[in-house]
Chain A
Amino acid sequence: MKKIIFFLILLFFISGCVQQQNNNNISQQTSKYPKDFYQNTNNNTPVDTPSKFKNNATDMENKLNDLGVELNNLMDLNNMSLDTQEEIELNTKHLSKDSFESDL
């Protein structure tokens, strides 16, 4: 009977030591992070709101600017088209011999 009681006390003591060791590990891990991060994650509040807004503003500015440049570049394609106007003119006018030869 004495042996059983001694064994239970020993078991209780060992489990208490293991629990203490786990608590030490957790506190060491959390202490790696800055105090404000720890607090914010615990409270579920957004982190560093002003810099996030600045990133969005830059991203928005870049996207708007980039599309403007792309749309403008496509406009330039129009200046490199085949010469269609000349064919239309040639096909619709019936040439006199003089004007025909002066065209050559």
Chain B
Amino acid sequence: MDLSAINPVLLIASLMVAATAVMIAAIGELIVERAGVLNLGVEGMMITGAICGFAVAVQTGSPTAGFIAAAAGGAALSMLFAFLTQFALANQVASGLALTLFGLGLSALLGQGYQGIKPPSTPRLDIPVLSDLPWVGRIVFGHDLMVYFGLALVAATWAFLKYARAGLVLRAVGENHDAAHALGYKVVRIRVLAIAFGGAMAGLGGAYISLVRVPQWTEGMTAGIGWIALALVVFASWKPWRVLLGAYLFGGVTVLQLNLQAAGIAIPVEYLSMSPYIITIVVLVIMSADKSRAPASLGRIFHATH
């Protein structure tokens, strides 16, 4: 075992990459849950985004087109969930599970023939002097654009919920849909938009895994990241900044265990591989003491009688 092989600069840099997918997906789900909807289909939308993005990026040769397609694919799939829960008034837990099961099948079907192909590489930010700075250059200026997009998304979501009028309306719908309806806000329309946003972000997160993180396509490649995104929202007590914190914690654990595997530590690989999931559970337990912040209408069915 050689722990000195683990370079702390690279560790932090790769931590940011490992955290990006789950962070983007979790922010999407955060908006959905702040609107009072619990969408358990994140995993299904992520994997669908992963294959949509991968396929389009391979066909067009443009990663940007891939990411756009991934967002569109995730959003399109989320509309099924929106139809079920907002119009057919189906149980949100069951509908979310259905979305995940369906998405896993759909992605496997779409992904036929894409196995073993390398996607076009997503360019990294490369600013002549800054990116070559020791330490800081690699960590702050050496990533692909999606890493920065993720960070900007967290900031934008925070500002949106705190300062924007639309953010206030969204929160009102999530806290008390009957009151929001009585005030004349279109509860269903707002929720459908939130669900579409959540789907698009989950799709982007998925595409980040298939286009940058791995980068290739294998069936079921999201391996529970979508569920971890759901856990992150609870961990974050529905606050954007804490999603960032949680995502970096998760990314750190993932990267660290991969590094330990590579360094040949005496712990079997399987036990290292299960550590991110176990740590997610531990964190969930610690955070579940604080229940007060869940949106009050979360998961409740809204049916306007007037």
- A is bound by B: no
Q: Give me the interface of A with B, judged by CB distance under 8 Å.
A: none
